[in-house]
Amino acid sequence: MAKEIAIQYGVASKRGIPSAEGLRAFARAALPKRHGELTIRIVDEAESRAFNRDYRGKDKPTNVLSFGGDAEPASKKILGDLVICAPVVAREAIEQGKTSRAHWAHMVVHGCLHLQGYDHEVEADAERMEAREIRILKSLGFPDPYGDG
């Protein structure tokens, strides 16, 4: 089964957000050998805050949240869902001196890696995850997101 990547918009405007096909390309680069279904939902700060509060106990919006899927029904593989907050991503890109597109790519790749079990809670795991992000983003033509701009 090929990857099926649905894009949902919970924002009033798509301004500054890469195209649906661009978002899919970022996800495919991070999920090269994975098959199944992925949903990327683009949200505003209120929706991000609600998800972050309800699922992580943090009462503030955040850039990306990853929700792993389950195998129900058994005939379809559910990779999971990404919830990406457009205003937070836009603000962070400016603060970090990155292009909006580069930061969007990073957030999609970052979220997809979480769905594959990567984490950054422990330094060694963070280094492993960051190295994978850098390789994937480089393959997409983007600079190291952890570099100096």
Q: What are the tens digits of pLDDT across the range 96-123?
A: 999 999 999 999 999 999 999 998 888 9
Q: What are the tens digits of pLDDT across the range 5-17?
A: 999 999 999 999 9
Q: Check residue 74 and give its pLDDT.
A: 44
pLDDT at 75 over 50: no
Average pLDDT of the chain is 91
The CB-side HSE value for 121 (13 A sphere, CA atoms) comes to: 4
Domains of the chain: 4-139 (3.40.390.30)
Residue type, 30: A
Query: Taking the CB of residue 24, how many other CB atoms lie within 10 A of it?
Result: 19
